[in-house]
Structure 1
Amino acid sequence: MKMRSIGRLLLCLAICLGIGVVGSLSTKPEIAGWYAGLAKPFWTPPPLVFPIAWTALYILMAIAFWRLWDRTAPSMGRSRAMTLFGVQLVLNAAWSPVFFGWHGIRTGLVIIALMVVAIAATIFSASRVDRIAGWLLVPYLCWVLYASTINAGVVALN
């Protein structure tokens, strides 16, 4: 692998994992207090599951983005996929501060619903230019769909 490609991969990892770190700054302080006091659906996993799952997902996301950036030829399709990736990443970055930091459970539900749509659009678009990049994002979509049911449950129960 060329140095340029390695640099791009490291940048993609830094961006995606960085979003996770920023999200954890607003999440972690709220877990033992505010979040613990919320009524949650019975299918909510223990808090320890979330950082493990998200770390794996952010790594897969980074690899997918790197493949789009480094492994596909410039085209309208690639530009569309990379733009949609950016949109879903912004929504991802917004969810934790809104839900945990501001205790905006309803606004968080709107954001996560938009994330589901943006991730699905990203997968569709990415798959058209790099099938592997698209498939790398499928676990992320599945997890966010699951997380959205938890968010909806929190809204319904509180």
Structure 2
Amino acid sequence: MNQKITKILMIVATCLCVGYFSGIITKESITTWYPTLIKPSFNPPNWVFAPVWTTLYILMGVAAGVVWNKMESDRINVRKGLQFFTIQLGLNLLWSFLFFGLKNPLLALIELTLLWLMIYETFMVFKRVDKMAAILLIPYLAWVSFAGILNAAIFWLNR
């Protein structure tokens, strides 16, 4: 298999693994704690989250793989972008632990702000390396923006 495709597939698989572990953290709370919360009218049904996140993890992985494949032509920005990408991926997993594992919407909201900023920084560096890779992160940035509003509303309604 082509080395470029292998790099993309490796990062997509890594992102999907993060999603899998987020799902493990989330699973119990989705049926026990989460239904007890007061949620805003714009809260999507639970079935929406898995396909949206799966799609986002795939797009994120493709974006990072495309950037990784530019290592020879722009080593500094590729390394910086992949470092930011790795940090945001860790923060992505941490949010699930804070919100669903610790059942702490306020702490999750604070962390989500850091996640959003790190996604934005990743987007900005990816844009310097490959514009299409950056564009692939826009749905993720939009969804995390929505998740922030939703998280804030849940915190506010349940304080």
- TM score, norm. by length of structure 1: 0.95
Aligned sequence identity (%): 37
Q: Tell me, which stretches of 5 or more residues in structure 2 are unaligned?
A: none
Q: In structure 2, what is the equivalent of residue 42 of structure 1?
A: 41
CA contact (8 A) 2:123 2:137 kept: yes
| Superposed displacement of residue 33, structure 1 | 1.4
Q: In structure 2, what is the equivalent of residue 119 of structure 1?
A: 119
The amino acid that maps onto 2:136 is L
Counterparts of 2:115 and 2:6, CA distance in 1: 28
Comparing 69-78 with 148-157, greater Cα deviation is found at 69-78
| Superposed displacement of residue 79, structure 1 | 1.3
Q: In structure 2, what is the equivalent of residue 76 of structure 1?
A: 76
| Superposed displacement of residue 71, structure 1 | 3.7
The amino acid that maps onto 2:48 is V
Counterparts of 1:9 and 1:129, CA distance in 2: 15
Structure 1 ranges of 4+ moved more than 6 A: none
| Superposed displacement of residue 13, structure 1 | 1.3
Q: Is it true that 1:85 corresponds to 2:85 in the alignment?
A: yes
The amino acid that maps onto 1:145 is S
Any residues of structure 2 matched to 1:52-71 within 5 Å, and which?
52-71=51-70
The amino acid that maps onto 1:70 is N
Q: In structure 2, what is the equivalent of residue 6 of structure 1?
A: 5
Counterparts of 2:82 and 2:4, CA distance in 1: 17
Q: Is it true that 1:96 corresponds to 2:80 in the alignment?
A: no
Q: Tell me, which stretches of 5 or more residues in structure 1 are unaligned?
A: none
- TM score, norm. by length of structure 2: 0.94
| Superposed displacement of residue 57, structure 1 | 0.2
| Superposed displacement of residue 122, structure 1 | 0.7
Cα shift readout 1:84-106 (whole Å, capped 9, x = no counterpart): 11111110010101110110111
Tell me the C-alpha RMSD between the 2 structures: 1.2
Counterparts of 1:12 and 1:34, CA distance in 2: 32
Counterparts of 1:88 and 1:6, CA distance in 2: 23
